[in-house]
Structure 1
């Protein structure tokens, strides 16, 4: 997982350097990844939230049936919207889950401009997620 994040960072750095070399002088927020990124720990979540304007944090567990049903939906959200999807395994990140008051899974927290803006608990349909994201885009 850490290697995946490092690869994404390398790709983003290469994109930024390319923009600078080709004269892209405007300061734009980095484009959100088209796939969910796995986050481990508070530092990685804070870094992700600071880097992207809109982050949908998906607190999930491998053993959770609704979480497994939600997986293709959050993958579509990552691919088709401007939101970055951060996947957080609550079993591996119990302290982080507790910090965000996760008492049931799946729990989705939408961060807008670095701050938690929305919280959704339980299975969500794609239209509901898109609506919430568009409200804060």
Structure 2
């Protein structure tokens, strides 16, 4: 089961990369993806944060109940705001989570202009996330 999930995750990441690469040549400024972008590793996170103005990074775990409850909220944020939403699986990226001081999930970090601007730990409501994004947009 875990191998199947990893295979699907890799396929989705490849589809997102291909879609972003195809669209990047047509646009002067990259648009925020309308779905959360899976991030695997420090290099991908750094690239995402450096290419976008406002990035909300969701550090999560598949086994985490509050993370599962937060999923539709971050999907809505990705679809309806100018912020890019990046998702980091803490089980697959333990060193990255440790580097950013993630001790519990869900932890949300907001990056504005490439720099960490906000940290939110635990379940958050959509209005709170939108407010934080608007403050830094």
Pick aligned residue for 1:16 from 2, 11, 24: 24
Map 1:101-120 → 2, pairs under 5 A: 101-120=101-120
* Alignment: residue pair count: 129
| Structure 2 SS opposite 1:82 | coil
Return the alpha-carbon distance in structure 1 between the equivalents of residues 131 and 14 of structure 2: 31
Distance 1:14 1:33, change over 3 A: same
Match of 2:94 in 1: 94
Match of 2:125 in 1: 125
Query: Is 1:31 matched with 2:31?
Result: yes
Map 1:37-56 → 2, pairs under 5 A: 37-56=37-56
| Structure 1 SS opposite 2:43 | helix
Return the alpha-carbon distance in structure 1 between the equivalents of residues 94 and 25 of structure 2: 37
Pick aligned residue for 2:14 from 6, 12, 19: 6
Return the alpha-carbon distance in structure 2 between the equivalents of residues 39 and 85 of structure 1: 10
C-alpha deviations, 1:11-53, integer Å up to 9, x for none? 233223334xxxxxxx43x101000011111011001111111
Query: Is 1:82 matched with 2:82?
Result: yes
Of the structure 1 ranges 10-19 and 102-111, higher mean CA displacement relative to structure 2 is found in 10-19
TM norm structure 2: 0.88
C-alpha deviations, 1:81-105, integer Å up to 9, x for none? 0011111111111000000000111
- Higher-Rg structure is 1
| Structure 2 SS opposite 1:117 | strand
Match of 1:66 in 2: 66
| Structure 2 SS opposite 1:18 | coil
Match of 1:24 in 2: none
Of the structure 1 ranges 127-136 and 51-60, higher mean CA displacement relative to structure 2 is found in 51-60
